[in-house]
Chains A and B, each alone.
Chain A
Amino acid sequence: MTPGEGFLPIARDLERFKEIVRGEVKKRAREFLTREELFGQVEGRLVSIPLPQLELPKIVHGEPVGEGLGLGGPGEEALGPGGHIPVAELELEEFLDLMGEALRLPRLLPKGEGEVTEEAFRYTTIARKGPRGLRHVRRTLKESLRRALLTGEYRPENPLLVPEKEDLRYKAPKNQPKPHAQAVVLFALDVSGSMREEELRLVKTLSFWITLWIKRHFPRLERRYLLHDAEAWEVSEEEFFRAREGGGTRLSSALLLAEEILKAYPPAFYNRYLYHFSDGENWQGDTPIALEALKRLLPSLALYGYAQVEGPYGQGRFLEEVREALAGQEGLATAEVRGREDLPQALRRLLGG
């Protein structure tokens, strides 16, 4: 068996296996959407997907047998891997693309201004001056040779070349501007009394996928998180998802703080995404302020996503008010989330689909 020939059959079997895995991911996209054990794994390069369906069933015993004695029990064998759980691994990017396709998530396009041109230095040219470390030996010797030939100092029987100062050549950098789209996403969460564990879980799921999906399109993504009740304050990502209860609600507080934070991300350089999760209950009198802030902000945002999550006490009116006040405005994405089954649709809409 030569490696070239030998590899063909397994490549075929491997490709078929991957095809089946891809099909399985698409088929079960909705299930994966809420699979929390997946969340922890997705940050890496590979996603491990548990796929019991891919196991060929056999008639087997229900419980492990032969334990004890210091020699039984499950375990790896010394010269090769032993038993395994049926898990398939996919590249994160491919996994996201499959999920995106299955859930019909929209592609995000960088806004024209959202591109930042980065100067990337590449040592692609040659200079006569430079630091010793960048000396280009071959080019230097070539110059030496050329000079020796020209001056008639070159002796083929003793071809030793001693470079002089004028022969020295150095690698030199050249600017190669590289366009890069970058983005910032800001999540704001209403923590006033009414958001509980289950609602928080829905929010967590949504923001998890929103982050991944934006990152899929803008690898250079910055993330900021803020919480609010009647006041708004910035928190770490970890703190963002901790359950808590607060007082009253002023939705405007979040929007005003977001406006403040986003000043550090000018729209000329950033695609700016703002997501706001709330049950829609707002203090009377605050809604006009919030809508006013929103009107100011909206033109500079790639998307403003407002997700209204239904809590144990129902939901407020903010969703309708936003939809009325900003009807037809570009960059506005709203969704209602009453439960898990709304997630695929909500996710799609929040991403502008």
Chain B
Amino acid sequence: MEKELRYWAERLRERAEALGLSFPPVLFEEVTPEEMAMLAAYGGFPRRYPHWRWGSEYLRYRETYRYGLGRIYELVVNTHPVQAYLLKGNTLLAQKLVMAHVYAHADFFHHNLAFKPIPKDMLDEMAHHAAYVERAMERHGARAVEEFLDLALSLENLIDPHTPYIQRPEGTEEEKPQERLRVRPYLDPFVNPPPGFPKEAEEGANPKPLPSRPTRDILGFLAQHAPLAPWQKSILEIIREESLYYAPQAATKILNEGWATYWHTQILLPLLTPEEALEFAELQAGLLAPHGLNPYRLGYHLLQEVEERWDKGRFGPEYEALPLGEKLRYERPTGEGRKKLFQVRTIYTDLPFLEEFLTPEFALRQGLLEPQDLEGFLQAKKALLFRLTNAGYPIVELWDANYQNRGELLLVHAYEGVELDLKKTQAVLENLHRLWGRPVHLKTVVGGKERLLSAGA
């Protein structure tokens, strides 16, 4: 990295820390647009298991950049130390902005509770996964492994993002590992049947339900109970682990980008020379442009709102009880804004963050709400919260792995008023059927009526 950048990296770090941010060491590296496209396709890691979808993503990023439709200024990877990539050829000011932005992300990764269970050595984990899949390809054939990956990847969102937080008393729920009898391989499935199928003798005799309670961790369940080869189970585990790694990032996108934008502004503003001020304003305007759901914009403005409210004492029962108009004028200076911001950064994810702070007062001030259309605002807010729930994916639970006592799977969609894409869902069910080997069913609602979608039945 150039000397000048290194100098600024140091100065910006000092300033970030002086302002109260704290984070592990951050490694900056400048990369070309092609390398950036590759890293973006790989989700930030220099090594992932072989799969064509990375190639497809890479092409998309590369072409997007080539045609000037968008550029990735920066990529931060939640590892220890934090790895950050800067786009080569950016102006010095852009790099400074990005580095300040990156320090705030590093602070967020480090403190936000959603990231607590995430392993910090993901760089190694990803490389291990890659090596495992490559070895599987050598042993079982590249096409066979790829086909299984295609299948498994269509299930990658069937995880329980809260799994890492759940602690169950040991030994009560999980079955004891079965004792395996050594026999010739072709006899193995008969002598040591895969778990998940009731043994004849057990049928009717107090069968234990499987799973013991409905679970969203369908990938985890399949990795444990589906009649698969060991390498296939490992691949399911790999995909599950990687999905779980990315889940907190999806759950905190608005907050995290808002946080980084808030702090790069705080860090950089006092350091700007008059010549830089204009360029900074331009970059900032681009970043905060109002299009689509811009997480930078929404997160940034909401955090500013939080700071202002807590600075002016606009919180607590007395404030909450006021009518809307008076809330806007209420003032009881306390200067607690910063303190509140750090608390929000630590304990919130997007969903409760928006639920709590995306208020009609905020919307009024931002010009998102006409006073007479409060109902419309609340509707839109509800829809937005729904979209952020479970990263926008439907919530699907596995209820029964021995449905109708036939070893079939029963999944249930937690219907919240929005229907599933039936074509894609059906395709996933077909995949699930291939994987489970027995018919699979999904209970959902179509056109207001309960319906059972099935594959293999």
- Does B associate with A? yes
**Residues in A lying within 8 Å of B, measured CB to CB:** 1, 3, 6-7, 9-10, 12-18, 20, 54, 56-63, 65-82, 84, 88-89
Residues of chain B contacted by A82 (CB below 8 angstroms) = 292
B92 part of interface (Cβ distance < 8 Å): no
Please pick, from A9, A57, A76, the residue contacting B428 in the complex, using a CB distance under 8 A: A57
B25 part of interface (Cβ distance < 8 Å): no
Contacting pair A16 B294 (CB below 8 A): no
Please pick, from A58, A61, A62, A72, the residue contacting B154 in the complex, using a CB distance under 8 A: A58
Interface of A is mostly: loop
Contacting pair B286 A57 (CB below 8 A): no
Contacting pair A67 B70 (CB below 8 A): no
B38 part of interface (Cβ distance < 8 Å): yes
Q: Chain B, interface size: which category?
A: 35 or more
Residues of chain A contacted by B290 (CB below 8 angstroms) = 70-71
Stretch at the interface among B57-65, B266-274, B323-331: B57-65
Report the separation of the CA atoms of residues A54 and B424 in the bound assembly, to the nearest whole angstrom.
Answer: 12
Knowing A13-B51, A84-B60, say if A79 contacts B35 (CB, 8 Å).
no
Q: Closest Cβ of chain A: how far from B455's Cβ, in Å?
A: 12
Residues of chain B contacted by A10 (CB below 8 angstroms) = 38, 41-42, 54-55, 58
CB nearest to B395 among chain A residues: A59
Contacting pair A7 B52 (CB below 8 A): no
Contacting pair B381 A80 (CB below 8 A): no
Contacting pair A63 B418 (CB below 8 A): yes
Contacting pair A65 B383 (CB below 8 A): yes
Stretch at the interface among B185-193, B195-203, B333-341, B386-394: B386-394
Report the separation of the CA atoms of residues A79 and B295 in the bound assembly, to the nearest whole angstrom.
Answer: 10
Query: Please, could you name 7 A-B residue pairs with CB atoms under 8 Å apart, sorted by A?
Result: A3-B31, A6-B38, A10-B54, A66-B388, A74-B292, A79-B72, A88-B56
Per CB-CB distance, the 9 closest pairs between chain A and chain B, nearest first, are A75-B292, A66-B387, A17-B55, A69-B380, A13-B55, A57-B427, A14-B55, A68-B380, A17-B52
Residues of chain B contacted by A3 (CB below 8 angstroms) = 31-32, 35
Interface of B is mostly: helix
Residues of chain B contacted by A69 (CB below 8 angstroms) = 363, 368, 377, 380-381, 383-384
Residues of chain A contacted by B457 (CB below 8 angstroms) = none
Residues of chain A contacted by B157 (CB below 8 angstroms) = 58-59
Contacting pair B74 A79 (CB below 8 A): yes
Report the separation of the CA atoms of residues A88 and B56 in the bound assembly, to the nearest whole angstrom.
Answer: 8
Please pick, from B293, B377, B385, the residue contacting A75 in the complex, using a CB distance under 8 A: B293
Contacting pair B52 A16 (CB below 8 A): yes
CB nearest to A69 among chain B residues: B380
Please pick, from A14, A56, A76, A84, the residue contacting B291 in the complex, using a CB distance under 8 A: A76
CB nearest to B292 among chain A residues: A75
Report the separation of the CA atoms of residues A1 and B42 in the bound assembly, to the nearest whole angstrom.
Answer: 14
CB nearest to B366 among chain A residues: A70
Knowing A60-B393, A65-B386, A78-B289, say if A70 contacts B368 (CB, 8 Å).
yes
Q: Closest Cβ of chain B: how far from A30's Cβ, in Å?
A: 22
Report the separation of the CA atoms of residues A138 and B387 in the bound assembly, to the nearest whole angstrom.
Answer: 69
Report the separation of the CA atoms of residues A70 and B288 in the bound assembly, to the nearest whole angstrom.
Answer: 13
Q: Closest Cβ of chain A: how far from B287's Cβ, in Å?
A: 5
Report the separation of the CA atoms of residues A78 and B261 in the bound assembly, to the nearest whole angstrom.
Answer: 12
Residues of chain A contacted by B291 (CB below 8 angstroms) = 75-76
CB nearest to A53 among chain B residues: B427
Report the separation of the CA atoms of residues A56 and B421 in the bound assembly, to the nearest whole angstrom.
Answer: 14
Contacting pair A72 B293 (CB below 8 A): yes
Report the separation of the CA atoms of residues A78 and B300 in the bound assembly, to the nearest whole angstrom.
Answer: 13
Residues of chain A contacted by B158 (CB below 8 angstroms) = 59
Report the separation of the CA atoms of residues A14 and B419 in the bound assembly, to the nearest whole angstrom.
Answer: 35
Residues of chain B contacted by A7 (CB below 8 angstroms) = 34-35, 38
Contacting pair A66 B55 (CB below 8 A): no
Q: Closest Cβ of chain A: how far from B73's Cβ, in Å?
A: 6
CB nearest to B387 among chain A residues: A66
B48 part of interface (Cβ distance < 8 Å): yes
Please pick, from A1, A54, A61, the residue contacting B392 in the complex, using a CB distance under 8 A: A61
Residues of chain A contacted by B60 (CB below 8 angstroms) = 81, 84
